[in-house]
């Protein structure tokens, strides 16, 4: 497969050649109608689950505009987007990197030179200019010129849903690319929905801390750290004053698929998403300097929004029909002020919708699951496989199979998962033995429900909960459940004999395999 698509247009052409794209030439309104069409397509199973990518070419109120949606909405398109025949290929490349050992001796060092050279090409490079600057608007611009969707009836307004939001750590200078929905308030301002666990939110908090430390020597450092106790809010310093200053932000819309995907990857904050995209593409991402802020953006993006977040400003954001299948309720979040828009001539607006699964984001989540399994195994080597069912919306349920070698290991794995980055939000974890296929829900249900004594094997704990969880007793804090569905050992206090699973004799199965066609049953 092609490993790197130059830009979104190159990707669209590849989708069309592969029969994975449908052009929609009937007029559709970005207000609700595009969502209804895309939702029906993403939930279809004919001819394959997920339906085709859709390129809308006639949008009500936006003559001449084009809109791409459902670009990642099938297993095949996710593989195409990342340039592989199987997502396990990328997992294999990650394992190779993790298994690299320090070379011993001159010859081993020589052998590693080609691999080190390959790693070097993952790093982004800054170029003088790019297609994203074909049109530059520093005045007389409006966000409403783009066909931004209102997705669901009770949404608070139009939302930009597939942005690559670029921020910079004020301490280290490292860039981050995240994906946070942006409610459009008017022609030049949006909400910035970075939840408390997101890297950009930490950049924002750090700017607040720096403002608190610089603003008054009397400010208590511990209170300053809690300035943003809620995901979005808390905009007063320890002495009651408001923080001042701005934080530069840039937003790229319509990037090549590997970069767009990298923006949702739960990578360590020390690793720039531009490097992850380079690793996935096997080619560096080209960047250009912004016009009005001190940041770099993808040179071949369709649209770039430049601006800032004012540290002393919050505004209600939402409601928003979310990937849980329910509306996320209104809350206060920072406000993004646009100072400049650059874009390609006749830009293609890339977007997505979320709601009741299955939808496009489900395929993206499954790709994250497969690609980052090796990283989970690095910390928890007993893990054999994991499954985050789409219906569990990725933070409600994780099924894990382990190679059990000592008593209590299933509980150790539960707590290990709850300590891993965004996996800490997993509400329910089910741990099964290595011979259980975690992707066969029927097999999991059969084995798990047969193997547990509920009082003995179900464990409850408290901790951070996803901001979108509407059932937790407090915002961002609630209970979690772990289920040890492994076979119990005598060393775990189980003294009864454990029965064998019913399995037919392999010799009999072979005999019937040979007879099957003659039976006239099929």
What residues act catalytically?
A: 322
How remote is the C-alpha of 490 from its chain's centroid?
Answer: 41
Cα gap 114→42, rounded to integer Å = 42
Tell me which residue of 175, 171, 149 sits closest to 160, measured CA to CA: 149
Radius of gyration for the alpha carbons in the chain, expressed in angstroms and rounded: 25
Cα gap 426→408, rounded to integer Å = 20
Does residue 505 sit in helix, strand or coil? coil
Tell me the two tokens of residue 249: 């932000």
What DSSP designation does 59 have?
B
Residue with tokens 């997505």: 352
Could you tell me whether strands 21-24 and 53-56 are parallel, antiparallel, or unpaired per DSSP bridges? parallel
Provide CB contacts within 8 A for 249, sequence distance 6+: 165, 166, 167, 192, 200, 293, 295, 306, 307, 308, 309, 336
How remote is the C-alpha of 452 from its chain's centroid?
Answer: 33
Does residue 289 sit in helix, strand or coil? strand
Is the separation of the CB atoms in 146 and 62 below 8 Å? yes
What DSSP designation does 28 have?
B
Three-state SS string over 227-278 comes to: CCCCCCCCCCCCCCCCCCCEEEEEEEECCCHHHHHHCCCCCCCCCCHHHHHH
Is the separation of the CB atoms in 322 and 357 below 8 Å? no
Could you tell me whether strands 163-168 and 246-253 are parallel, antiparallel, or unpaired per DSSP bridges? antiparallel
Is the separation of the CB atoms in 30 and 158 below 8 Å? yes
Tell me the two tokens of residue 230: 């809620």
């Amino acid at each position: 497969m092609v490993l790197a698509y130059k830009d979104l247009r190159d990707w669209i052409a590849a989708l069309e050649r592969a029969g994975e794209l449908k052009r929609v030439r009937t007029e559709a309104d970005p207000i609700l109608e595009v969502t209804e069409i895309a939702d029906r397509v993403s939930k279809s199973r004919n001819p394959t689950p997920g339906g085709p990518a859709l390129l809308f070419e006639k949008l009500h109120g936006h003559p001449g505009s084009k809109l791409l949606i459902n670009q990642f909405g099938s297993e095949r398109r996710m593989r195409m987007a990342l340039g592989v025949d199987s997502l396990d290929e990328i997992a294999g490349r990650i394992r190779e990197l993790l298994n690299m050992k320090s070379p011993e001796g001159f010859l081993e060092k020589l052998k590693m030179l080609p691999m080190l050279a390959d790693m070097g090409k993952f790093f982004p490079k800054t170029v003088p200019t790019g297609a994203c600057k074909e049109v530059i608007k520093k005045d007389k611009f409006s966000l409403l010129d783009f066909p931004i969707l209102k997705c669901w009836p009770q949404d608070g307004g139009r939302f930009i849903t597939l942005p690559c939001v670029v921020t910079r750590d004020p301490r280290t200078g490292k860039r981050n690319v995240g994906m946070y929905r942006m409610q459009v308030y008017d022609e030049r301002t949006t909400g910035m929905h970075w939840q408390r666990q997101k890297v950009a939110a930490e950049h924002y908090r750090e700017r607040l801390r720096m403002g608190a430390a610089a603003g008054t020597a009397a400010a208590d450092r511990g209170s300053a750290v809690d300035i943003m106790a809620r995901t979005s809010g808390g905009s007063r310093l320890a002495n009651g004053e408001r923080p001042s200053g701005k934080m530069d932000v840039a937003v790229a819309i319509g990037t090549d698929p590997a970069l767009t995907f990298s923006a949702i990857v739960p990578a360590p904050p020390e690793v720039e998403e531009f490097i992850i995209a380079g690793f996935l593409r096997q080619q560096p991402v080209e960047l250009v300097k912004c016009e009005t802020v001190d940041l770099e953006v993808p040179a071949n993006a369709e649209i770039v929004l430049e601006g800032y977040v004012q540290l002393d400003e919050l505004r209600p954001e939402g409601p928003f029909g979310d990937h849980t299948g329910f509306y996320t309720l209104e809350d206060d979040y920072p406000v993004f002020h646009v100072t400049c828009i650059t874009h390609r001539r006749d830009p293609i607006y890339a977007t997505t919708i979320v709601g009741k699964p299955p939808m496009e984001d489900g395929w993206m989540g499954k790709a994250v699951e497969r690609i980052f399994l090796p990283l989970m195994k690095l910390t928890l080597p007993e893990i054999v496989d994991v499954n985050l069912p789409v219906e569990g919306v990725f933070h409600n349920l994780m099924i894990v199979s382990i190679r059990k070698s000592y008593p209590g290991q299933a509980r150790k794995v539960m707590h290990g998962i709850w300590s891993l980055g965004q996996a800490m939000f997993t509400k329910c974890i089910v741990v099964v033995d290595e011979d259980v296929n975690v992707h066969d829900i029927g097999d999991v249900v059969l084995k798990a429900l047969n193997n547990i004594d509920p009082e003995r094997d179900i464990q409850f704990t408290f901790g951070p909960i996803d901001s979108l969880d509407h059932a937790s007793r407090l915002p961002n804090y609630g209970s979690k459940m772990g289920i040890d569905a492994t076979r119990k050992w005598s060393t775990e206090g189980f003294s009864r004999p454990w029965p064998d699973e019913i399995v037919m004799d392999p010799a009999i199965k072979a005999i019937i395999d040979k007879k099957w066609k003659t039976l006239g049953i099929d």
